[in-house]
């Protein structure tokens, strides 16, 4: 599908471009992010962000199976939010914010906007959220958006050799989403 920019003031969620390689590398230099998200390499260098932008994100938008946006305010990169099609009509949401951008409700706003995109543009009936057990910051965001807790998946996440249990929550198209 054609990459789409979502505007939800003050946020601009835009598909990453090749010119964002250095900016993304700088933004993600917080070990807490890679600690909780096993798909993010650590240490993280320009070659990682180049791979993410020019390979993963580009092919993900082309197939529509894996769509990502940079979370920006006044063109400063504050994080990433994305959707991954797990099954027909089921999307999984993922996100992170730079330390400086936290505590202002920006993740909640971005995730809410992206879930709306999943329901309205990607025909999702269900958006799923999973996080390593203990990732309270991510859980608070999901709860504010209206996700309902559904269970703990044992050894579902983690890096090779160090499996981690995962919280699972779901947001349905039919749920009354928190405003």
CB of 171: closest distance to other proteins in angstroms? Answer: 9
Residue 14 has φ and ψ, to the nearest 5°, of: -130, 145
Q: Which residue lies nearer to other proteins by CB, 27 or 169? A: 169
Does residue 154 bind other proteins (CB under 8 A)? Answer: yes
Site for other proteins in 80-99 (CB under 8 A): 86-90
Within positions 29 to 88, which residues make up the interface with other proteins, using CB under 8 A? 86-88
Written as six digits, the tokens of 8 are: 């939800």
The secondary structure of 33-49 as a DSSP string is HHHH-TTS-SS--HHHH
In the bound complex, what is the minimum distance in angstroms from residue 148's beta carbon to other proteins? Answer: 7
Residues 6+ apart with CB under 8 A from 33: 40, 96
Is residue 139 packed enough to be buried (19+ CB in 10 Å), middle (13-18) or exposed (0-12)? middle
> Does 125 participate in binding other proteins (rule CB under 8 A)?
yes
Q: Which is nearer to other proteins, 113 or 126 (CB)?
A: 126
151 binds other proteins per the rule CB under 8 A: yes
- Residue 126 sits in the site that holds other proteins (CB under 8 A): yes
**Taking a C-beta distance cutoff of 8 angstroms, is the pair 81, 69 a contact?**
yes
Q: Which stretch binds other proteins (CB under 8 A): 15-23, 40-48, 102-110, 166-174?
A: 166-174
- Taking the C-alpha atoms of residue 175 and residue 153, their distance in angstroms, rounded to an integer, is 23
Contact residues toward other proteins (CB under 8 A) are: 86-90, 125-126, 128, 148, 150-156, 161, 163, 168, 170, 172
């Amino acid at each position: 599908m054609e990459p789409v920019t979502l505007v939800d003031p003050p946020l601009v969620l835009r598909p990453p471009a090749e010119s964002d390689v250095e900016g993304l590398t700088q933004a993600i230099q917080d070990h807490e992010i890679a600690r909780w998200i096993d798909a993010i390499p650590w240490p993280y260098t320009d070659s990682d962000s180049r791979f993410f932008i020019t390979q993963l994100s580009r092919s993900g938008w082309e197939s529509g199976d894996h769509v990502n946006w940079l979370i920006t305010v006044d063109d400063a990169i504050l994080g990433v939010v994305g959707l991954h099609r797990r099954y027909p009509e089921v999307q999984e949401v993922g996100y992170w914010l730079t330390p400086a951008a936290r505590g202002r409700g920006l993740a909640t706003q971005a995730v809410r906007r992206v879930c709306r995109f999943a329901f309205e543009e990607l025909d999702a009936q269900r958006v799923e959220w999973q996080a390593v057990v203990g990732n309270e910051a991510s859980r608070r965001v999901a709860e504010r958006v209206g996700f309902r807790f559904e269970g703990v998946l044992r050894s579902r996440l983690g890096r090779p050799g160090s499996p981690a249990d995962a919280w699972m929550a779901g947001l349905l198209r039919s749920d009354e989403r928190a405003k």
